[in-house]
Structure 1
Amino acid sequence: MRRGHLMRWMALAGTVMVLSLPVRAQTVSKAGTVAADFLQIGVGARAMALGGSFVAAADDASALYWNPAGLAHIEGGEAMAVHSRWLADVSFDYLGAALQLGPLGTLGVSVTMLSVPEMLVRTEDRPEGTGERFDAADLAIGLSYGRAITDRFAIGATGKFIQQRIWHSSAVGFAVDLGVQFRTDFFGGLTLGAAIYNFGTDMRLSGRNLRTFVDPDPTREGNNNRIPANYETDSWSLPLNFQFGIALRPLQTRMHQVLFTADALHPAANYESINLGMEYSFQQRVFLRGGYHALFLPDAEGGLSAGLAVHQVLPYAGGLAKLEYAYRDGGRLGSIHIVGLGITF
C-alpha cells in the first residue's frame, strides 16, 4: 500500500472517529455524569509517568488500554502487572498479556480492577452502624487484537465487558476501543496515533439493595404500609473519549535514547486537554521519565508526573524483566504511586 494511500486512509479514520463523538457545548462540562468512570484511569507506570500521553508511543502490554494498534509492535509475548494505591485508599490494579501470532497479528487480554475497602452500613436510625459491612468494586475484562497492515501502519480493536458493583447491586455494560498508529520518516521517526475509547452501551444499577417497602398512601390509616417496591435508577453512558497523539524520537543511539510524547484529549464528558511526556533511556536499561497531564483543563488537580524504570535481560529465557515506578501529583487530593512489573518472552 502506498504511503499516500495510507495517509488518506488514516485521515479518513480520524475524521470518522471525531464525527462519531457527540456534539456538545464547549462552555458546559459534563464531568461526573458517566458510568464506569474508572475506565478513564490510565494504566502502566510508564504511560502514567509520561503524563498519560501514550496513544502514539504504546508498544508494550499497556497498549491493550492505550491503543490496541500498538500490539502490532510486540515481538513474541509480554505480560504486565500494575498496582497503585489510588485516591482515598482505593486500590487500582491492572493485568495484561499479549502474544504475537505471527502474520495473523497479536492477541491480548486484560483485566482492570478498582476496589474500595469495606465500610460500615449506616442508616438514619443507626448512624454508628448496623453491624453490617459493604464494599464496592469495578471490573473490566478486555480482549484485544492488533495487526500491522504494512511496516508503518497498524490497526487494533478491543472488546470489553464492564461491571460495577456496590454491595448487592450491580450494573453491566459492553464497549469497544478502536485505534490506529502510523510511523513516518519525519523528525527521526515521528509516530502518529489515534484511538476512540468506550464506545458502548449505557449502564443501569439493579439488585436487591434497590428493593424496599413503601406505604402507597401515607395519608390513610389502616392500609398496608409494607408494599414491596423496587427503586429504578437512571441509565448512564460510558466515558467516551477520542485521543490523538504524536511520539518523537530525536535521539536514538546505542547508548542514549530520547522520546517526546504529546496527546490531545477530546472527552464527551469534560473539556479538552493535553498530556505531555518525555523519556530518557541509557542503553535501554535505565529509564527516567517525566510528564504533565490535564494541561489547559479547568479545575484540574495537580498535573506533574515522574517515574523511573530498570530493565534486565533474562539470561536463560531470552526476554526482559521490567521494574517500573511512577509518581503522579493529585493536588489537594494527594499523590499517587504506581508500581509495575513486566516480562517479555
Structure 2
Amino acid sequence: MKNYVLVCLTLVSLLSTAQTTRKYSNEFMNIGVDAAALGMSNAVVSQSGDVNSGYWNPAGLVNLESNQIALMHSSYFANIANYNYAAFGMPLDKQSSIGVSLIRFGVDDILDTTQLIDDQGNINFDRINTFSTADYGLIFSYSRKVLLVDGLSYGVNAKVIRRIIGDFANSWGFGLDFGIQYQGKNDWKFGLMARDITTTYNAWTINEDKFAQISGAIDGQNQELPETTEITIPKLQIGMSKKWTFHYDYTLEGAFNLNVRFEENNDIFSTSFASINPALGFEFGYIDLVYLRTGVGNFQNELQIDNSEDLTFQPTFGVGFKYKGIYIDYAFTDIGDQSAALYSNVFSLKLDLSIFR
C-alpha cells in the first residue's frame, strides 16, 4: 500500500507540472555531454571544436576535418537513472559542417501499482506492471564560417524534444539555439551560446483514463486535467579560453564561462533581471596523448536552517587518452555540490572516422 500511494503521488506530481508556465522545463538538456567537457566543469563554449559542438556550441562544428562520431553513458542517483548520448558530425566543405545529436535521460522498470487493489479492495500482485519515464532530445546542427571576418563562425541548432511518462502522458517540444565563436590572436578564443532563443515549447498529451486512475486513488485529489503547455526560457553562455604550449610536449588550456539565466535564483550573482553562474576549467596535455582535467562551477548561495547562506560549488575531475583518432575520456563529477556525496562516473568515446580509410 505504501508503494501504491508513492507511485500515485509521483505521477500526479509529474503530470501536474504543466499546470503553469514553467521556467525549468527540459532540464535534462542542461546536464551536458562528453566526459572531456564535464571534466572541465562544462567551460567549453569558446573552444569546443569537434562532433560534440552540436551540443555545446554549433559554431565549433566548422573545425571538423573529417567525419566524427561520439558516444557517452552515465548513471545517476545510484544507477536509477541512465543518461545516454550519441552524435555524428561531418564537414560539407571548407566553410560549413552539419551534425546530429541524440540525448536520452530515463528511468526504466518503474512499478505501476495503480491496479494493485481492485474495486473490492482485494490486493493482487499479478496486476503490477512496469513502465518507463524518458526524455529525448534530438538536435540538428549547422555551422558556417564568416568569410568576411577571419576566425569567426556561427551555428544554429534545431531541437526536437520528446518526453514520455509510460502510458500516462507524453509531449513534443521544439526550439532553436544560436552560437558564435571567434579565434583571435595568440590563441585566444571567444564564444557565445544562446539556448532556446525562441523559447522552447512543450505540448503535453495526457491519457485521461490513466490520469483518472491516479487521481482517484488519492482521497480529495482534484480530478481536473492539468494544462498541457510548458515553456523553456532562453539561457546565455559566454566563454573565453586560451591554450599555452611548453617545450613542445606540454600544453595547458584554461577556460572561463559565464552561464546566464534570465531569472532570480540562488546563483552566486543574482538579480531580478538575470542570474550569473561562473565556471572555470583546465586541461593539461602531454604529447597530444594524455590529458588531465579539472574544473569548478555551479556556485550556489544555499539557505541554511538558521537563515544564513553558505556558498557551495561543484568540483570536477577528468582524464583522457587520444591515439590515432580514438578518444577515450572519463569524468568524475558531483551532480550536486561539494557538500554532498552524490558522485557520478561519466565515460565517453569519440572516433575520427578517417582512421578507417
RMSD: 2.6
Distance across 1 between alignment mates of 2:312 and 2:333 = 11
Q: Mapping of 1:36-185 within 5 angstroms?
A: 36-88=26-78, 89-123=80-114, 126=117, 130-150=127-147, 151-168=150-167, 169-185=169-185
- Could you list the per-position Cα deviations for residues 232-253 of structure 1 after superposition, in whole angstroms to 9, with x for gaps in the alignment? 3342212531000001113365
Match of 1:189 in 2: 187
Identical pairs, percent:
21
| Equivalent pair of 1:178/1:197 in contact (CA under 8 Å) | yes
Distance 1:128 1:342, change over 3 A: farther
Letter in 2 for 1:236: E
Question: Cα–Cα, structure 1 residues 291 and 163, in superposed 2: closer, same or farther, change >3 Å?
Answer: same
After TM superposition, give the deviation of residue 295 of structure 1 in Å.
Answer: 2.7
Q: TM-score, normalised by structure 2?
A: 0.76
Aligned residue type for 1:284: D
- Are the counterparts in 1 of residues 132 and 166 from structure 2 also a CA contact under 8 Å? yes
Contact 1:159–1:174 (Cα < 8 Å) also in 2:
yes
Q: How far apart are 1:134 and its partner, in Å?
A: 1.8
Amino acid at match of 1:292: V
Taking a change above 3 Å as real, the CA distance of residues 98 and 297 of structure 1, as seen in their structure-2 partners, is farther
CA distance 1:72–1:205, change in 2 (3 Å): same
Q: Kindly indicate whether residue 290 of structure 2 is the aligned counterpart of residue 291 of structure 1.
A: no
Matched length: 293
Structure 2 counterpart of 1:326, from 287, 312, 331:
331
Q: Please, which moves more after superposition, 296-305 or 96-105? A: 296-305
8 Å CA contact retained: 2:315, 2:334: yes
Higher mean alpha-carbon deviation, 263-272 vs 84-93, is at: 263-272
Contact 2:82 / 2:107 at 8 angstroms: preserved in 1? yes
Distance 1:212 1:329, change over 3 A: closer
How far does residue 198 in structure 1 lie from its aligned partner after superposition?
2.1
* 1:74 Cα offset (Å): 1.3
Q: Secondary structure at the match of 2:245?
A: strand
Q: Which residue of 2 aligns with 1:236?
A: 230
State the one-letter code of the partner of 1:326: A
Kindly indicate whether the alpha-carbon contact (under 8 Å) linking 1:39 and 1:239 is maintained by their aligned counterparts in 2: no
In the alignment, what sits opposite 1:263?
A: 257
Secondary structure of 2:37's partner?
helix
Structure 1 residues 212 and 276: CA distance shift in structure 2, 3 A:
closer
Q: Residue 272 of structure 1: SS of its match in structure 2?
A: strand
Q: Is the 8 A contact 1:120 1:131 kept in 2?
A: yes
**How far does residue 149 in structure 1 lie from its aligned partner after superposition?**
1.3
- CA deviations over 1:101-148 (Å, ceiling 9, x no partner): 113500111111111021112349749975122210010111101112
**1:204 and 1:234 in contact (8 A); partners too:** yes
Is contact 2:175-2:201 (8 Å) kept?
A: no
Q: CA deviation at 1:204?
A: 3.4
Structure 2 gaps, min length 5: 1-21, 118-122, 214-222, 266-274, 304-310
Structure 2 CA distance for aligned equivalents of residues 337 and 80 of structure 1: 17
Match of 1:11 in 2: none
TM-score scaled by length of structure 1: 0.78
Q: 1:301 to 1:85 in 2, by over 3 A?
A: farther
1:219 aligned partner: none
Shift of 1:33: 4.0
Instruction: Measure the CA separation in 2 of the matches of 1:306 and 1:76.
Output: 29
**Structure 1 residue 306: deviation in Å?**
0.6
Indicate conservation of the 8 Å contact 2:109/2:130, yes or no. Answer: yes
How far apart, in 1, do the equivalents of 2:345 and 2:232 lie?
26
SS at 2:232 equivalent: coil
